[in-house]
């Protein structure tokens, strides 16, 4: 939930403060247990019970029960929490849990909990999405219960969509679009485009994947940046990004495609479809993408999938790189990860994406699509970045980095000649 709270330690009207034992067990994680010959730590247990009641209230759509765990004297916090609870009304939640990762006591009746909120969107997430929060609590001596006095994001943490306003949900055939501050017609149009993107991705990527996508549409690019925990300037020219965990466990929750409504709206229908197909490809390939995968391959493959129908020429798809090549400035090497930085030069970023796309085009054309898929899997399955591309080039394509770079440079000239 949003950063909400009241001044800690404010005297409570009508409450009697009583001395109590120092909550030593609160200094360890909530999961720790007391020795068998000692009394259990009831304070830690009771704090977990408070958070469990809060989680149950979310799943039962019970606003009164949700607010009931907030300090009765914290009227502003109660009002803010009730309002934010309403923002969640249309989000189809399959689970909502709190796990205390650390507890710190502040005397006998006050504590601060580091909490990991886990939530799962029903029908879309294969595992809960995790969000770290910090929650302050106080114990009421009258009933012995613990109540929330503040709820805030961890330092450097990002917002959740429902913290920005009422979430409106639009279900497509293969998509769920969640928006704040955008018209329902706009959200329906995005869902329709996403529904076209998902089958295109399934046709371009032979591995099994969820076959569905969650798209978040915040009100502004500034709101988008808040969801990503980065400066808005990084995303002003970016139509959409994908968030998610890389790795091959297969247990990561479905990624979120986050749309920049301002940049996305400036695109035509074809451009919007390319953007959502590109981002959905990242969702599909997530379990085969790892820290070993260079950006030129992950981004290039996503563009390859998005442009696979062949309806656009290389000059139309890659104008920046095309201008450089036809002007005699053929890049000496494949794009580096740094070339893909959103905060850098826009032309450099464009050439990086275009160069990665043409590298994947080269593999598909000269070695075949099946070899492109195998190459992608082999690189992502390597133990680390060092040697990943070199080994996959040798084992899958029967070539070397030096030879591949020469072929790629020649291919650029041939495509723009």
Residues 127 and 265 reside in one and the same domain: no
Q: Which of 156, 179, 203 is the last residue of a domain?
A: 156
Instruction: Please indicate, yes or no, whether residues 163 and 146 belong to a single structural domain of this protein.
Output: no
Q: pLDDT tens digits, residue range 310-351?
A: 889 999 999 999 999 999 999 999 999 999 988 778 899 999
Per DSSP, the three-state class of 265 is: helix
For the record, the structure tokens of 104 come out as 């710190």
SS3 content of the chain, % helix, strand, coil (to 5): 45, 15, 40
Q: Give the pLDDT of residue 294.
A: 97
Q: 37 and 75 in one domain?
A: yes
Of the candidates 259, 288, 317, which is a domain's last residue? Answer: 288
Q: Is 53's pLDDT higher than 80?
A: yes
Per-residue pLDDT at 164 exceeds 90:
yes
**Domain edge (last residue) among 135, 156, 177:** 156
Strand blocks (E) in 26-145: 93-105, 110-121, 129-139
Phi, psi (deg, nearest 5) at residue 217: -125, 95
The SS3 assignment for 353 reads helix
* Lookup: tokens for 408: 């790629």
Q: Are 247 and 382 in contact (CB under 8 A)?
A: no
**Least confident piece of the model among 48-52, 83-87, 161-165, 242-246:** 242-246
Q: Are residues 115 and 190 in the same domain?
A: no
Helical segments of 92-160, H only: none
Residues 74 and 210 both lie in one domain:
no
Q: d(Cα 386, Cα 290) in Å, to the nearest integer?
A: 12
67: domain CATH number is 3.10.450.50
What burial letters (b/e) apply to 34-57, b meaning 16+ CB within 10 Å? eeeeeeebebbeebbebbeebbeb
Report pLDDT digits (tens) over 246-280. 333 334 444 899 999 999 999 999 999 999 999 99
Residues 253 and 337 in one domain: no
Do 42 and 142 lie in one domain? The reply is yes
Mean pLDDT, residues 370-381 taken together: 98
Q: Are residues 311 and 221 in the same domain?
A: no
Whether 243 and 367 map to the same domain: the answer is no
Is residue 151 within 8 A of residue 85, CB to CB? The reply is: no
Q: Cα-flanking dihedrals φ and ψ of residue 111, to 5°?
A: -155, 160
Q: How confident is the model at residue 40 (pLDDT cuts 50, 70, 90)?
A: very low
Residues 330 and 414 in one domain: yes
Place of tokens 């990086």: 352
Tell me the C-alpha distance between 415 and 150, whole Å: 59
Q: Are residues 262 and 314 in the same domain?
A: no
Q: What letters, b where the CB count within 10 A reaches 16 and e where it falls short, cover 258-297?
A: bbbbbbbeeeeeeebbbbbbbbbbbbbbbbbbbebbbbbb
Measure the CA–CA gap between 299 and 376, rounded to whole angstroms.
11
Q: What distance in Å separates the CA atoms of residue 130 and residue 44, rounded to the nearest whole number?
A: 21
Q: pTM value?
A: 0.87
Q: What angle do CA 148, 152, 158 make, to 5 degrees?
A: 150
Q: Mean pLDDT across the chain, nearest whole number?
A: 88
* Count of domains forming the chain: 3
Nearest to 103 by CA among 167, 22, 176, 184: 22
Q: How far apart are CA 198 and CA 205, in angstroms?
A: 11
Query: Which pair of structure tokens corresponds to residue 99?
Result: 């796990």
Domain range for 401: 290-417
Radius of gyration (C-alpha) of the chain in whole angstroms:
25
Indicate which CATH number applies to the domain containing 213: 3.30.2010.30
With a pLDDT cut of 70, the percent of the chain lying above it is: 88
Same domain assignment for residues 38 and 53? yes
Owner of token pair 């680390």: 384
pLDDT tens digits along 76-129: 999 999 999 999 999 999 999 999 999 999 988 999 999 999 999 999 988 888
> What is the arithmetic mean of pLDDT over 290-313?
95
Q: How confident is the model at residue 20 (pLDDT cuts 50, 70, 90)?
A: very low
């Amino acid at each position: 939930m949003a950063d909400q709270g009241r001044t800690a330690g404010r005297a409570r009207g009508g409450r009697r403060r009583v001395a109590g034992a120092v909550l030593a067990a609160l200094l360890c994680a909530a999961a720790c247990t007391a020795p068998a010959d000692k009394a259990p730590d009831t304070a830690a247990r009771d704090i977990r019970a408070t958070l469990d009641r809060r989680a149950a209230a979310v799943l039962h759509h019970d606003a009164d029960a949700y607010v009931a765990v907030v300090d009765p004297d914290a009227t502003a916090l109660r009002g803010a929490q009730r309002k934010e609870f309403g923002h969640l009304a249309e989000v189809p939640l399959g689970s909502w849990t709190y796990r205390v990762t650390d507890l710190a006591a502040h005397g006998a009746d006050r504590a601060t909990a580091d909490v990991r909120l886990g939530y799962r969107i029903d029908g879309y997430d294969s595992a809960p999405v995790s969000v770290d929060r910090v929650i302050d609590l106080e114990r009421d001596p009258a009933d012995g219960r613990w109540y929330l006095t503040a709820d805030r994001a961890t330092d450097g943490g990002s917002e959740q969509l429902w913290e920005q306003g009422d979430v409106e949900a639009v279900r497509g055939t293969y998509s769920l679009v969640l928006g704040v501050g955008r018209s329902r017609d706009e959200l329906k149009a995005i869902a329709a485009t996403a529904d076209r993107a998902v089958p295109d991705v399934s046709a371009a990527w032979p591995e099994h994947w969820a076959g569905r996508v969650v798209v978040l549409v915040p009100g502004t690019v500034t709101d988008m940046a808040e969801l990503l925990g980065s400066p808005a300037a990084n995303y002003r020219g970016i139509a959409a990004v994908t968030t998610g965990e890389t790795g091959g466990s297969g247990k990561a929750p479905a990624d979120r495609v986050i749309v920049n409504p301002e940049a996305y709206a400036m695109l035509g229908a074809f451009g919007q479809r390319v953007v959502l197909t590109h981002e959905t490809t990242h969702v599909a390939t997530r379990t085969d993408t790892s820290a070993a995968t260079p950006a030129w391959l992950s981004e290039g493959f996503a563009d390859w999938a998005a442009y696979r129908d062949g309806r656009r020429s290389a000059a139309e798809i890659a104008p920046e790189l095309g201008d450089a090549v036809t002007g005699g400035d053929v890049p000496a090497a494949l794009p580096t990860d740094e070339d893909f930085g959103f905060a850098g030069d826009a032309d450099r970023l464009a050439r990086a994406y275009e160069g990665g796309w043409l590298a994947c085009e080269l593999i598909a054309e000269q070695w075949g699509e099946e070899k492109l898929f195998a190459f992608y899997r082999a690189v992502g399955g390597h133990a680390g970045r060092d040697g990943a591309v070199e080994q996959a080039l040798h084992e899958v394509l029967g070539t070397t980095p030096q030879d591949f770079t020469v072929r790629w440079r020649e291919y650029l000239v041939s495509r723009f000649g």
